[in-house]
Amino acid sequence: MAAERVSCALCFSYGDRNYMTYRVRSAEERRAEIQAQAAAMGIDDAFISSLVETFYARIRAHDRLGPIFAQAVDDWNDHLPKMKDFWSSVAMSTGRYSGKPVPAHQKLTGVAREDFSLWLGVFETTVRDLAPSPEVVPFFMKRAERIAESLKLAMFTLPSLKKSRQTEN
C-alpha cells in the first residue's frame, strides 16, 4: 500500500517579498521528523511518564481541579497509562492513543471555562520543572493550549450554538 503524500508549506522572505514553497512528504516521513525533533529535545517515553505522573499528582492535590478529576477518574492506575499514550502521541507522533477526548470531557460536570487556565498553569509549571531542555516548554505548551482551546470550544461554545439553533427553528 502506497504511503499517503501530504504537502507542507514553507514560507520565507527575501527583501520585501514573501515566498512560499512546498515540500511533499509522506505521513511516515512527517512522523519520523516529529520523532527526531522530540528526541533532539530529550523527549522520550521516560520523560512523558514522569511528566504525566507528576502533573496528575499535582492536579489531584489542587484545590479546584482535584475534585473535578476525582469525580471523573475512577481508577488512576487505568487512567495514567492512557494519558501517557495520549501525550506520547501528541509529542512524539507514536499513534499509541486511540481514545476520544472530546466526548469524555463533554460528560464532565462542574467544569468552568476558567478551569482550563488553571489546568494550563499546572501543566506549564510541571513541564518547566521537568523539561530536559528549554525548548521543551514551548513545544508542549503550544500543543496543550491547542488541546485546551479545542476542549473549551467543544464543551462551552458548540453546545450553546446547537441550543440556540434549536430554539430559532
pLDDT at 6: 42
Asked if residues 110 and 68 have their Cβ atoms less than 8 Å apart, the reply is yes
pLDDT band at 134 (very low <50, low <70, confident <90, very high): very high
- Nearest-angstrom CA–CA distance, 150 and 135: 23
Q: Is the pTM of this model over 0.85?
A: no
Provide CB contacts within 8 A for 90, sequence distance 6+: 97, 143, 147
Q: Which domains does the chain have, with CATH numbers?
A: 1-41 (no CATH), 42-168 (1.10.490.10)
Instruction: Determine the Cα–Cα distance for residues 38 and 51; give it in Å rounded to an integer.
Output: 14
Q: Cα(86)–Cα(72) distance, rounded to whole angstroms?
A: 17
pLDDT at 48 over 60: yes
Which has the closest alpha carbon to 126: 63, 34, 25, 57?
57
CA distance 72 to 87: 19
DSSP track, 1-65 = -PPPEEEEEEEEEETTEEEEEEEEEEHHHHHHHHHHHHHHHT--HHHHHHHHHHHHHHHHH-TTH
19: exposed, middle or buried (C-beta count within 10 Å: 0-12, 13-18, 19+)?
A: exposed
Q: What is the pLDDT of residues 53-107, one digit of tens each?
A: 999 999 999 999 999 999 999 999 999 999 999 999 999 999 999 989 888 888 8
C-alpha span between 47 and 49 (Å, rounded): 5
